[in-house]
Amino acid sequence: MSEKRAVVIGGGPAGVSAAIYLVRANIPVTLVYRDMGALGKTGAVDNYYGFAETVRGPELFERGISQARRLGVNVVEAEVVGLRWDDHLTALTKDGAYSGDVLVLATGSARIAPRIDGLKAYEGRGVSYCAVCDAFFYRGKDVSVLGNGIYAYHEAKELTATARTVTIYTMGLPAAFENSSDKIRVDSRKVAKILGSESVERLELEDGTIVPMDGVFVAVGVAGSADFARKIGAEVEGVRIVVDENCATTIPGLYACGDCTGGMLQIAKAVYDGAKAAKHAIAYLRSL
Ligand SMILES: Cc1cc2nc3c(=O)[nH]c(=O)nc-3n(C[C@H](O)[C@H](O)[C@H](O)COP(=O)(O)OP(=O)(O)OC[C@H]3O[C@@H](n4cnc5c(N)ncnc54)[C@H](O)[C@@H]3O)c2cc1C
């Protein structure tokens, strides 16, 4: 019987957690990742276990990758462009293919950012991509959400608990959600510029109106990660990969974990998911 192998796509908390559990079960693992994922955009992380001092997202990412390497995971930096499913599950990159008897998708959720002057410059200084992470910093302040869908509305709802005012800018489109909250204003004008000095202070709208603003939350869809699953026929729901309670997809041997499966988009959940996906992938491998 040939040695069973695992492939993990994604080097964030979910992928690294899955790889660690797999390799410690004596299964050879190749982890392929493109970049830092969500942690590359994350400033201070204060709600994850074990850090007396604040840890920044990129440092947490580097620590995870180093830990995986130390435990013997074969870590490859490459972009996966496709998946193949025959007698194995194979991740295809520009320069090579990585096959396993099990494959764990942990590709995160691609958060789409609109092109607006100042958006990039103020990331982490008033521009955020995560209401549940950062709402606390905007207690009693004026915030806006850029986006037009259930995701944007959900972020806005999250912010109403702490912020003074919450406005959703649907960026030139009629609202694609039902607003049942009297705390949320909806404005269909496009935001042209985000302005401030050290941090965000105001918005300039397309018609030249200046609006005082302390925080801008970007929630333009959650897209991308389900594409791989879709490629080989695993069930997806919008941008979310459908998994059962064991993180198993509808394809035998294909597991998914972390942000790409939806739910709470947080590090703690991604780490737990990774461990769970690995546990069930190990059981699956041993049953072959
Ligand atoms: C601005 C911001 C602030 C946040 N703050 C917090 C916080 O304070 N606390 C908290 O708990 N959570 C926070 N989060 C959320 C947290 O970062 C995510 O929930 C967590 O990183 C999800 O882990 P993941 O492994 O599922 O995905 P990610 O961390 O996004 O990792 C995805 C991985 O998949 C890789 N990948 C994607 N596509 C490909 C491909 N085609 N080929 C190869 N590799 C690919 C990426 O390169 C990356 O390595 C924040 C997120 C953001 C954006």
Domains of the chain: 6-109+224-287 (3.50.50.60), 111-220 (3.50.50.60)
Question: Residue 221 has what pLDDT?
Answer: 52
Instruction: Please give the Cα distance from 23 to 6 (Å, whole number).
Output: 9
Task: Give bridge partners of residue 45 from the DSSP assignment.
Answer: 55
Across 32-52, average pLDDT:
93
Instruction: Please give the Cα distance from 126 to 145 (Å, whole number).
Output: 12
How much is the CA Rg of the chain, to the nearest whole Å? 20
Q: Count Cβ atoms within 10 A of the Cβ of residue 124 and give its class: 0-12 exposed, 13-18 middle, 19 or more buried.
A: middle
pLDDT in tens, 93-119: 878 899 999 999 999 986 566 789 999
pLDDT-derived band of residue 220, with 50, 70 and 90 as boundaries? confident
Least Cα distance to 172 among 152, 192, 199, 202 occurs for 192
Instruction: Please give the Cα distance from 109 to 3 (Å, whole number).
Output: 32
Is the model's pLDDT at 232 over the cut of 90? no
Residue 61 Cα: closest atom of ligand 1: 29
Q: Is 228 in the pocket of ligand 1 (CB under 6 A)?
A: no
Across 193-219, average pLDDT:
95
CB contact at 8 A, 119 and 194: yes
Question: Residue 222 has what pLDDT?
Answer: 39
Distance from residue 2's CA to the centre of ligand 1 (Å):
34
Q: Whose CA is nearest to atom 46 of ligand 1?
A: 37
Pairing mode, strands 240-241 and 236-237: antiparallel
On the CB side of 238, CA atoms within 13 Å amount to 12
Distance from residue 140's CA to the centre of ligand 1 (Å):
28
